[in-house]
Amino acid sequence: MSLCPRISLKPEVTEYLKSVFLNKEVLAAVGHQEAESRFQKLLTCLTHPPSYTCVRASTHLASLDEIKHKLGEELRNQMCSSSAEQVSLQILPHPQIPDVLLLPVYGPRSVKQLVSEVVVGAQCGSAVLRGAHVFAPGIIASPKYMKAGDVVSVFSDLEGKCTRGATSFQGKRVFVGNGVAEMDRSSIFCKNEPPKGIGVRMVEPLYQSPPFDGVLPNLVFLQNLPSVVAGHVLGPRPGERILDMCAAPGGKTCHIAALMGDQGEVVALDRIRNKIDRINQNAQILNLRSIKAFHFNSTRAVSTDPTQKTEGPPFPPESFDRVLLDAPCSGLGQRPNMANTWSLKEICSYQPLQRKLFHAAVRLLKRGGVLVYSTCTVTLAENEEQVAWALDTFPCLRLQPQEPHIGAEGMLGAGLSPEQLRLLQRFRPELSWDETEMTAPLPCRASRDTIGFFIAKFLKN
Ligand code: SAM
C-alpha cells in the first residue's frame, strides 16, 4: 500500500469542503472543471509532505551562512554515522526570507514492505513522513517477539482504531517506510514506566528528509514556511511590547523575539498549562530572554480594571504595540495528513472561539498598532469570512499589505473585494500541484508547496 491518494474525511466534511472550494464566486471566476480539479488536487496533496523541509535559522545568534555551513557539517556527520542510505544533501537559503534554510524532501520512493510490522499513531506517522524517527510513545502495535535490532515495516493507523499493545492490525493504515527497532517489545509496552527515546530508527523512509531531532538546537528551529512568514508579516521592532495570544509551543513567539534582537517584551499566553513549559524551554534553548509566558485563557486577557498594572494577564486595554492571533483552528491545512476523523460540527466549532479571541486582540492593541491573524486551515469560515466579519465589526481596523507576500491572495467566496483579497495571503498547496508548477525552479516551488495557511494583517486606527 502506498500513500493515500486522497485524504480520508467524513463524507459530510468532504461535502462541506467541496461547497467551499466550488462556491459561486469561485465557479464564476474559474469555471466548474478548474474548481473541481483544484479541489481534488487539494485532497491529494494534503496526504503528502511539502517538497521541502523548512528550518528557521537563529540569525540573532549567527549569520545565515555560518548556520548553513554548520548545519551541512552536522547533517553529513549524522548521515555518515547512520546506516540509512545516503542521499545528496542540499541546503538552500530562501530567496526572499533572510532567516530560512530549505532542504529538499525526496519521495515518495519505492520501498519494499517487510513481514514484521510496527503500527504507530497518525501523528507519529505524519512526523515520520517529514523525516522523523519513530519515538517509542508513538508505537501502538509491534510483533509479539520484537527485539532491538529487528528490521520492521512501519504503518500509520489512520483512524486511531488500533489497540495499544496489539501484535498486529489490519484496519485502515498506511505504509511510511522501514526501520530498525531500537527497543524490545517488552520495553515499549512496559506497564511500570512510559517508554522514552527512539523506538524505531528509520532507515528506508518513504520520504527521505534529514531528522532534526537534537541537530544544532540553538541555531535551527523546524518550522513550516508560512509560519515563518507570519512572524515577518507582524514586523516586530526592538523595544516594542508584543502579545502572542495563542503561543504554544512557541515557534512564532521565539521568532518574534529573535526579530526584535531580544530587545523589548514578548508576552506569550496559552490556555493549556503544560504547554507553557514548552514555550519556556524553546526560549531558553534559543537564548531569548524577552519572552514572558503565562498560562491564561486569552478570551479573558483584557482587564476590567484599566488602572490595574501587573506583569501578567489580564492586561489593560491598548497595552501592546503588536498582537499575533495565531488562532486555534480546524488544522485542515496540515501536511501530511492522511485522515481526519472529525465531524462537521467539530470542524465548524472554531469560528466562534476565534471571534472571541479577536475581540480581545483588538481591545489589547494600541491605536496605530498591528494585528496579525493566522490559521493553518483551508476553510473560508475561519479565514476570509473572519476578515469580512472583523472589518464589519471593528471599523477601526484596516487591512494592510504584507511583507513578504509569497503565497496566493485570499480565496473568493466571503464577499471581499479584489483589493481586499490581494492584501490577504493564503498558502494554497493545491496550486503548486499543477504540472507546470511541478517543474518550477526549486526555491519557487518551496514557497508554494507548503502546508495550507492563511495570514491577514490589520492596522488599528
Ligand atoms: N502559535 C503557536 C506556534 O507557532 O508555535 C501555535 C499555536 S496553535 C495554532 C493554537 C494554540 O492556541 C494551542 O496551543 C492552544 O492550546 C491555544 N489556545 C486555544 N484556545 C486558547 C485560548 N482561549 N487562550 C489561549 N490559548 C488558546
pLDDT at 126: 95
β-pairing verdict for 320-326 and 241-244: parallel
As given in the structure block, the three cell numbers for residue 452 are 495550507
Q: Distance from the CA of 315 to the center of ligand 1, in angstroms?
A: 18
- Same domain assignment for residues 149 and 293: no
DSSP notation for 153-200: EEEEETTS-SPTTBS---SSEEEEEEEEESS-HHHHT-SSS---SEEE
pLDDT digits (tens, 9 = 90+) for 275-284: 999 999 999 9
174 and 229 in one domain? no
**Based on the domain organization, do 125 and 272 belong to the same domain?**
no
Q: What residue has cell string 471566476? A: 29
The domain boundary, picked from 170, 205, 240, lies at 205
Tell me the C-alpha distance between 408 and 320, whole Å. 29
Question: What's the CA gap between 123 and 157, in Å, rounded?
Answer: 9
pLDDT for the residue 84: 52
Q: Are residues 321 and 250 in the same domain?
A: yes
258 in the same domain as 187: no
Buried (b) or exposed (e) across 198-219, using 16+ Cβ within 10 A?
bbbebbbbbbbbbbbeebbeeb
Give the containing element (helix H, strand E) for 134.
Answer: strand 134-135
CA of 378 to the centre of ligand 1 (A): 18
- Please report the atom of ligand 1 found closest to the CA of residue 227: 4
For the record, the C-alpha cell of 80 comes out as 555518515
pLDDT at 4: 74
Q: Specify the residue with its C-alpha closest to ligand 1, atom 17.
A: 246
For residues 293 and 253, the answer to whether their CB atoms sit within 8 Å is yes
Question: Given this model, what pLDDT does residue 82 score?
Answer: 65
Which residues are annotated as catalytic? Answer: 376
**What is the whole-number distance in angstroms between the Cα of residue 131 and the centre of ligand 1?**
25
| Ligand 1 atom showing the smallest separation from residue 356 Cα | 23
Q: What percent of the chain has pLDDT over 90?
A: 88
Which pLDDT does position 93 carry in this prediction?
A: 96
Which atom of ligand 1 is least distant from the CA of 357? 23
Ligand 1 atom nearest the C-alpha of 376 is 9
Same-domain status, 162 and 238: no
| Closest ligand 1 atom, residue 248 Cα | 14
Residue 301 and residue 169 in one domain: no
- Cα–Cα distance for residue pair 459/440, rounded to 1 Å: 35
- What is the tens place of the pLDDT at every residue in 47-89? 999 999 999 999 999 999 999 999 999 999 888 776 555 567 8
176 found inside a domain: yes
Q: Is the dihedral of CA 246, 251, 253, 255 positive or negative?
A: negative
Q: Ligand 1, from 270, 285, 375: best to mutate by most atoms within 8 Å of Cβ?
A: 270
Q: Which residues pair with 179 in a beta bridge?
A: 152, 202
Give domain status of residue 375, yes or no. Answer: yes
Distances (CA, A) of 203 to 111, 137, 151: 11, 19, 9
Residue 268 three-state SS? strand
What CA–CA distance (Å, rounded) separates 87 from 110? Answer: 14
Locus of grid cell 531569548: 288
Whether 292 and 378 map to the same domain: the answer is yes
13 part of a folded domain: no
Domain of residue 443, residue span: 225-460
Q: All 3 cell numbers of residue 305?
A: 480594571
By the 8 A CB rule, do 128 and 75 touch? no
Residues of the chain with pLDDT under 70: 1-2, 82-87, 437, 442
Label residue 439 left, alpha or beta by phi (over 0 means left) and psi (-120 to 50 means alpha): alpha
- The domain that holds 183 is classified in CATH as 2.30.130.10
Same-domain pairing of 161 and 234:
no
- Secondary structure (DSSP) of 291-330: EEEEE--GGG-B-SSTT---SSSSB-SS-EEEEEEE----
Query: Which residue reads 551562512 in cell numbers?
Result: 65
Residue 148 CB contacts under 8 Å (≥ 6 apart), including other chains? 181, 182, 183, 184
User: 176, 205, 234: which is the final residue of a domain?
Assistant: 205
What's the rounded Cα separation, in Å, for the pair 166 and 144?
A: 8
How far, in Å, is the centroid of ligand 1 from the Cα of 329?
9
Tell whether 215 is covered by a domain: no
- Please check whether residue 437 is in contact with residue 86, taking contact to mean a CB–CB distance below 8 angstroms: no
What percent of the chain shows pLDDT beyond 70?
A: 97
Mutate which of 246, 277, 281 to test ligand 1's pocket (most atoms within 8 Å of Cβ)?
Answer: 246
Domain with residue 373: its CATH number is 3.40.50.150
**Structural domain total, the chain:** 2
Name the residue at shortest CA distance from atom 14 of ligand 1: 248
In a domain, 385, yes or no: yes
Ligand 1 centroid from CA 301, angstroms? 14
- pLDDT score, position 11: 97
Name residues contacting ligand 1 (CB within 6 A). Answer: 227, 246-252, 269-272, 275, 297-299, 326, 328
User: Do 314 and 433 have their domain in common?
Assistant: yes
User: What's the CA-to-centroid distance between 289 and ligand 1, angstroms?
Assistant: 21
Within 10 angstroms of residue 164's Cβ, the number of other Cβ atoms is 10
Residue of 266, 271, 288, 325 best suited for mutating to test ligand 1, as the one with most atoms within 8 Å of CB: 271
- pTM for this model (two decimals): 0.95
Interatomic CA distance for residues 456 and 230, integer angstroms: 9
CA nearest ligand 1 atom 23, residue: 297
- State the distance from the centre of ligand 1 to the C-alpha of 157, rounded, in angstroms: 26
For residue 249, give the ligand 1 atom closest to its CA.
Answer: 5
Same domain membership, residue 456 and residue 391:
yes
Lookup: cell for 383: 479565514
Query: CA distances (Å), 223 to each of 254, 332, 397, 432, in order?
Result: 11, 17, 29, 20
User: Which residues are bridge partners to 408 per DSSP?
Assistant: 426
Any domain includes 364: yes
- Domain contains 80: no
Same domain, 396 and 359: yes
CA distance 363 to 299: 11
User: Is residue 288 a part of any domain in this protein?
Assistant: yes
